[in-house]
Amino acid sequence: MKMTSDILGIGLAGPQLSSLEQSILSETSPYAVVLFGRNIESPRQLRELVAEVRSVARRAPVFMIDEEGGRVDRLRTLIPGLPSAQAFAEGERPVELAEWFGRVIGMALRHFDIECNLAPVVDIRGEVATEGLERRTFGGDPESVVELAGAFLRGMHTSGVASCPKHWPGIGRGSADSHYSATVIDVPLSSLITRELVPFRQLANEAGAVMVGHGTYPQVDDTGQPSTLSWRMTTDLLRNFLGFNGLAVSDDMEMHAVSDLGPEEELLDRALLAGNDVILYCSHIERVPQIQSHLHARVSGDDRYRTRFEEAMRRCEAHRAHCERLRTAAPAVPSFEEVVDEAARFIEEFERTRPHRDVIVPDVDRRKSSRDPRTGREEWT
């Protein structure tokens, strides 16, 4: 069975394509390319990188990015000053400004020809913020998160950019940062239903996609597997119980909450069979050809595996069409000057309506951890 595209989402190593990346894109195109700060030097360079990928690829991938504002802000060198999600609950007119924020980010991503933002975060903040989620959440109760995250994603949709709420089924009460180790959410299903699942129930189908997190829920799935590897969490709970019919995107499979559990090929199999439709490998492009070869061999030789793969591909195509509908319905692609002007207006108004506070995560401390990341090229936060 010859495959010309697959269900992987991959990261690129830098601001220009390498020969290996050109080969991967032209020979067996991944579904998505996820952009990071390491890929961004200037407005012109970013537009040229996206255009080059589209011209090289056998089939143009869907471009994705984590553009939340605050500490997870891939465009911070191009459009500085975008606030964190938590800041919206700290001043006046939070819903209006959250929607405006979504429109600003949507305008920026439309200018750079990026179809899908891996945001908003719809985790509900616990009494103590989970490590790695500091100031990334909209609130500490389901109603606030639904209201503000919903306004944010609708603002993006208005600008022609798709959204992807995360991190299913909610890691706001997690025990650790899943980038570096397992995070356990040790609560019963009844508690998840009345708290963590509420934003997904309200917003997931409207968004059209959900990112599945690496949290472990021992009282819901006693196998001890993270959600990305758990059929119970990613199919039974997300699809059968919640009724979600869109695209399930795994969090990065190179994060240590999952990458420490086995070889990449085995984890790919487990993630696909659990119910993920797009599986992300964001840090090490040199490993992608081997992962693709394994995927293609399994699809060719295993009927059950092929059936699940074909279901995932149908959802990928539906999501691609969803992205295109949003783009078609949106205003004309803005110039970068228009993006900057609108961002400046938003930031000025936002700051005027918010009390002064000290910076929680200084710029010099971003993307750093006391732990050894071990895999060498991560840019998770």
Where in the sequence numbering do the catalytic residues fall? Answer: 179, 251
Query: Nearest to residue 260, comparing CAs of 294, 225, 230, 290?
Result: 225
Phi/psi class of residue 95: alpha, beta or left (left: φ > 0; alpha: ψ in -120 to 50)? alpha
Whole-angstrom CA distances from 192 to 41, 75, 154, 200, 334 are 41, 33, 25, 11, 41
Give the count of alpha carbons within 13 A of 90, CB side only.
15
SS3 for 237?
helix
What amino acid occupies position 30?
P
Both tokens assigned to 152:
């944010």
Cα(186)–Cα(175) distance, rounded to whole angstroms? 9
H/E segment holding residue 72: strand 72-73
Residue 220 · residue 237 · CB < 8 Å: yes
Both tokens assigned to 81:
């000053």
Cα(223)–Cα(14) distance, rounded to whole angstroms? 38
Beta bridge partners, 211, equal 249
